[in-house]
Structure 1
Amino acid sequence: MWPISPGLVVYYVDRRAKCAGSYAGPDAPVPATEDATVAGNVRCLLGMFPLVSVYASGPAFLARAATRESRTPGLVLLDDPSNLDPSAGNTDGCRLLQSVLDHNRLFPAFVAVILTDSDSADKTRLVEYLELGAADVLPRTLSHARLQGLLPLLYRHARAIPVLSSKLSWVSSDQRVCTVYDRDQIIDEIMQFMLYRDPLCLTQRFASVDGLLSANGERLRQRVFTWDFAAYELSDDELLVCAYQIFQHALRVESLAEFVISPACLLRFLTTTRAAYQPRNPYHNFRHAVDVLQATFYFLLSAGVFPTIDGQPPPPAPGPHSFAAVLRPRDGLALLIAAMGHDTGHPGVTNAFLNSTNSPLSLLYSGRSVLESFHCAAYNNLLQLLWPATHSVAPVRDIIVETVLATDMGVHFKYMKKLTKIFEDPARPRSLADLPDPIRDHYRILICASLMKCADISNVARNLEISTHWGKALSDEFELTACLEQAVTASDTNLVACMQSVVDTRKAQRANESEDDRLLALAKSQIFFIDTFARPLFRAMVTALPELQYTLDNVIANGEIWRERIAAITTGVASTAQQ
């Protein structure tokens, strides 16, 4: 047994393997049906390492590599595909090796070694493996003597790996909370998609999306170009198609040629972003992200930043006082990108909860726009990896950062003050076309941030049915956060059990509530939000962009309907009490 690191695991990938699985200990039996060379290698490895996991394919190993359990020092043995088919090229082997190296860029856990038939080995191919990043190339039939030569390399690698604790959560420093919200779980879900670099692999992995594009593309496209967009009626794959169509439409604008990426890369960007959202969240999930994306897109269509589709009349040209004149297609693309990832990694709790539990993120960002700062940092990392052109152009990057940070409702009134101030600016010329460049740039970023704020709360500006659905979803998420806060403050050290008890108690209370009680609570919350935040914001935006008048009309109409419902319920209650 190797004494250097008892926890080291060997991952052995060989297409000839017939009995994939894990073997522990030097006396672990290897099935008689296993390939003779694979069986011999497993026995040799078990003589030096405590655990050997055998995989018959690269994708099977990559799925395992994306989990947190794989973040311990590991030796990865990759069988050269040409061992099985001498006529095979080097593409498959390099692709798999590159995927392992991609994993190491985020979590440096593996030492990759290529196994090849020495007699038939193409020296050019072996050099390519080494230049790509393989630690060594060994004969396919292993021996103790050959493995001994890897020990110094493995020792140095193991010592260099930082200790990663799955118990430390970025949501809260309270270790009980970490059992509910674990940062590593979010990272795992992102990693599942990041590891697949090759477009062919994407085609196989997301064949259902390709089917939706061909079978339902036009139906979904029609939805994307209407304001009555009910994201909750669509599946995750259908939402993915909607997002794909929005970006494809925007990227057809000639001036955005430098940002165009291939369909496969665009799909990879969207699927990776989707993986960064938590489906367990009732509200802040991928569905909300696409809803905000579509709202942003529709705003930009209304303002004439992007062209409409064939068969739809073009929007009227912006008047001399419309701030649409300061928006360029590049700004529109930045807004779409920001909308797609504005809640990346959202844990389903609020900034107030993070601050009250002294979470590491709260300490990192000094309690200011904690979640929004995290969304920005995480999303920018994804953009740098998956769409580098958008990250390398400073004006685009600045708009993405500014607009994501603007979604913090804690700075809402600060932005409202800035927005209303530009209407009172005596230095502003009658025509925005005459603005000096520095002032134009200032207005542009402020209008973009305000558009993002409108899109983020656009639920109240949709029709009442759509608005009601989202209001209920947000109430459910706030209620879960309240239950978590109650569980954290309890004396019980078992947070999971305490949380379940709190939730069960709340469900019992809700069972005793009448439908009118629930509707009244929802109506009051909607009116408070409309009166305090939505109506003033949309009114200011319509002043800046008259093209968005339909949003303010809906906000006002929805508010009136909610008031009528409150009056009807309270009148009915009063009548019942008198009887």
Structure 2
Amino acid sequence: MEPSDCSIILLYPFRPFIIQDDQDQQSLESIFGKVYVEHDEQEAIERAKEISKNNHPTLFLIDLDAIIYKQDDDELTLPSTLNHTPVNLIQRVVRDVSASIPVIVCSKHHHTHTMMDCIHAGAVDYLIKPLHLDVIKTLFLKIHRNQPDLKMHHSPLYQRIKEMTFYNMPKVMMNLYSNHQSINKYPSISKKRSLELLSNLCTWNFNPFDLTEQDLIHSAYLVFDQLLSLPELSSLNLKDQLYDFIIDLASVYHNDNPYHNFAHAVDVLQCLFYMLSELGLLPFTNKSKSDTVRPQDLLSLYDIFALLIAAIGHDAAHPGVNNMFLINTSNPLAILYNDQSVLESLHSVTLFQLLSKHGIDKRVSQVSPACYRDFRKIIISSILSTDMALHNEYVDKIKEQAKRLHSIDLNQLNRSTAEKERILLCSALIKCADISNVARAFQHSQQWAKLLVDEFAAQGNLEKEFGIAVSPASDDSIALEDSQINFIQFVALDLFKSLSMVTKEIAFAVDQLNSNLSHWESIKQKNEQTDHDDDDDDTAHMIPETGIKRSHSVDESYTSTAKRISLEKFHINMPLIAMTTYGRVNTRDEENDQEEKATGRPMYCQCSIQ
């Protein structure tokens, strides 16, 4: 391949002089077979896409000297016609053009941080102007290096693995399963409103139902903004891309899902933020640090950052059905992940795709390779731990950890052992956060419970549409209070108590769980008495042979329509957060069995559909 066989796309906004007089352009035209001059970034990208269809060797050169340069703040910004900072422009071009087309930037400015920012954004090189002819003559080598099929001295194994890398499977999956809604960039939030949202984040009574989408996005931003303001994490320098990342992440959630939407993601994030504050791990809180080493002190601020990233992305691109539905319908995702933690694997892949898109993974890796390995490991293990099919296994591990950590000197743990303990502790924390809706103030917990019922009904409707057996939890005769009572008794309490054995500061959530349990038991008792009175007064209210009588509503707003949910009114793509099996749920003594027969209500547990 010769330079004359290659093309180059030159991008810069229109400048008020004759382009043909530009010395750099003339030099490029003397070396390359074809030089395409584009003044609009989108047109340049479309040109690159068109050329890549023919596999023609091409370079993409961005001239930064058309960009306004501010000497006072040592920062580059683009004119208003482009609406991008240089970093965002480079990221967009790198994202949208073929991976075989190298993106290069050139400028007369040689500030080190500017050059590094451009490389971190995805540019393969930064050239100082004026462009010397000798430099231009070697540019075609970057094409050669970028195209694996042009390399002549690699083994077949190298070529095969390299080709797999160029086929961006995670990006394909994210585009297929994620939402494609557009969200307005940079919502307008007043300082007063921002302070209100920050205050709201610092209470266990956090209520996402009162927040707009912009409020939710800004709330998530505030969590990370506070954390990244700490000196220990300042080297990450992520604030510029933080808002863009959160907006993109919010956009991949399907907000028509009653439960698995961005509000749930922010709720889980806030729960972890609050618990970490209670654990005394965030230095900007009023919690004093213990003089002795506690189990939670094993976590570094980088671990906490990874855990919070996992929280906000733990359900990213949830498609609207549970793992068992994907497995039963032989969905490609289930086949790809061998029926194991199918959705959780998708969430992790989607999250890392967005982390890569915004250069966050690169920033972490620049701290050290070990830092990035730990960052990635904590995120993946934390998200996978939210698979409720593995719930019993994790609870047993957490109980064993509690005994272990309180019987040893934590200062004497070797690196490998400490890493295992940190990962398990992160898993325990995010598992509690994921189901923390049952441990919130009762009025909020009650709202989440109703949303779960909505999802159960939608799952059943979808199963009927596909002609497969309707899962028991998706039946439209779920007793809401029974579901919550069983879930708290057999799942939530066991998990939260186990974690409080490791970190006693979490005991406040156990108290709230017991309080909510009492509320649900009172509702159940009241509804049973009402059912009994109805049966005595009017035989027409007896349970029909074709179904099971549904429990009465929890409040006046959830009355007759709640007695038997109309499946038709729910969108068939709504999700079901489901766990396929849970051994302890069905463990009841004879007295409880008799009680179930007497009430005529199915004893569904929330976890059986989580």
The aligned counterpart of 2:432 is 454
Q: Are residues 74 and 565 of structure 1, via their aligned partners in 2, closer, same or farther at CA, if it must alter by over 3 Å?
A: farther
Say whether the 8 Å CA contact 2:170–2:353 is kept in structure 1. no
The aligned counterpart of 2:157 is none
Offset at 1:404? 0.8
Say whether the 8 Å CA contact 2:228–2:239 is kept in structure 1. no
The aligned counterpart of 1:271 is 247
- Out of 492, 506, 528, the position equivalent to 1:570 is 528
Offset at 1:522? 1.6
Structure 1 counterpart of 2:348, one-letter code: C
Please report the TM-score for the alignment, with normalisation by the length of structure 1: 0.64
- What do residues 169-226 of structure 1 show as CA deviations (whole Å, max 9, x unaligned)? 999xxxxxxxxxx964556739x79xxxxxxxxxxx6342xx3153411111100111
The aligned counterpart of 1:390 is 364
Aligned-residue sequence identity (percent) comes to: 28
Offset at 1:315? 2.2
Say whether the 8 Å CA contact 2:401–2:502 is kept in structure 1. no
- Out of 403, 427, 445, the position equivalent to 2:382 is 403
1:221-370 residue pairs with structure 2 within 5 A?
Answer: 221-258=198-235, 260-309=236-285, 314-318=286-290, 322-370=294-342
How far apart, in 2, do the equivalents of 1:80 and 1:390 lie?
26
Size of the aligned set, in residue pairs, is: 444
How far apart, in 1, do the equivalents of 2:233 and 2:448 lie?
33
Instruction: Determine whether 1:525 maps to 2:459.
Output: no
430-439 vs 377-386, greater mean Cα deviation: 430-439
How far apart, in 2, do the equivalents of 1:276 and 1:70 lie?
30
- RMSD over aligned CA atoms reads 5.0
- Out of 466, 472, 479, the position equivalent to 1:488 is 466
Q: Are residues 431 and 319 of structure 1, via their aligned partners in 2, closer, same or farther at CA, if it must alter by over 3 Å?
A: farther
Say whether the 8 Å CA contact 2:269–2:308 is kept in structure 1. yes
362-371 vs 91-100, greater mean Cα deviation: 91-100
The aligned counterpart of 1:49 is none
How far apart, in 1, do the equivalents of 2:171 and 2:55 lie?
26
The aligned counterpart of 2:601 is none
The aligned counterpart of 2:353 is 381
Structure 1 counterpart of 2:306, one-letter code: A
How far apart, in 2, do the equivalents of 1:225 and 1:463 lie?
14
Instruction: Determine whether 1:103 maps to 2:95.
Output: yes
Offset at 1:341? 1.0
Q: Are residues 474 and 373 of structure 1, via their aligned partners in 2, closer, same or farther at CA, if it must alter by over 3 Å?
A: same
1:212 aligns to what SS in structure 2? coil
How far apart, in 2, do the equivalents of 1:306 and 1:483 lie?
45
Offset at 1:433? 3.7
Structure 2 counterpart of 1:349, one-letter code: V
How far apart, in 2, do the equivalents of 1:133 and 1:475 lie?
60
The aligned counterpart of 2:517 is 559
How far apart, in 2, do the equivalents of 1:415 and 1:69 lie?
51
Say whether the 8 Å CA contact 1:278–1:284 is kept in structure 2. yes
How far apart, in 1, do the equivalents of 2:299 and 2:429 lie?
11
Say whether the 8 Å CA contact 1:390–1:397 is kept in structure 2. no
Q: Are residues 484 and 227 of structure 1, via their aligned partners in 2, closer, same or farther at CA, if it must alter by over 3 Å?
A: same
Q: Are residues 97 and 269 of structure 1, via their aligned partners in 2, closer, same or farther at CA, if it must alter by over 3 Å?
A: closer
1:13-92 residue pairs with structure 2 within 5 A?
Answer: 58=41
How far apart, in 1, do the equivalents of 2:249 and 2:294 lie?
33
Say whether the 8 Å CA contact 1:15–1:56 is kept in structure 2. yes
How far apart, in 1, do the equivalents of 2:330 and 2:350 lie?
20
Q: Are residues 98 and 559 of structure 1, via their aligned partners in 2, closer, same or farther at CA, if it must alter by over 3 Å?
A: same
How far apart, in 1, do the equivalents of 2:301 and 2:513 lie?
27
How far apart, in 1, do the equivalents of 2:170 and 2:262 lie?
22
1:409-448 residue pairs with structure 2 within 5 A?
Answer: 409-425=388-404, 429=407, 431-448=409-426
1:537-548 residue pairs with structure 2 within 5 A?
Answer: 537-548=495-506
Q: Are residues 274 and 404 of structure 1, via their aligned partners in 2, closer, same or farther at CA, if it must alter by over 3 Å?
A: same
The aligned counterpart of 2:444 is 466
Offset at 1:321? 8.2
Structure 1 counterpart of 2:438, one-letter code: V
Q: Are residues 364 and 578 of structure 1, via their aligned partners in 2, closer, same or farther at CA, if it must alter by over 3 Å?
A: same
Structure 2 counterpart of 1:569, one-letter code: N
How far apart, in 2, do the equivalents of 1:133 and 1:91 lie?
29
Stretches of structure 2 that go unaligned for 5 or more consecutive residues are 1-10, 15-37, 70-75, 104-128, 144-162, 538-610
Say whether the 8 Å CA contact 1:73–1:110 is kept in structure 2. no
Please report the TM-score for the alignment, with normalisation by the length of structure 2: 0.61
Say whether the 8 Å CA contact 2:185–2:247 is kept in structure 1. no
How far apart, in 2, do the equivalents of 1:294 and 1:90 lie?
34
Structure 2 counterpart of 1:537, one-letter code: L
Q: Are residues 74 and 237 of structure 1, via their aligned partners in 2, closer, same or farther at CA, if it must alter by over 3 Å?
A: farther
Say whether the 8 Å CA contact 1:189–1:275 is kept in structure 2. yes
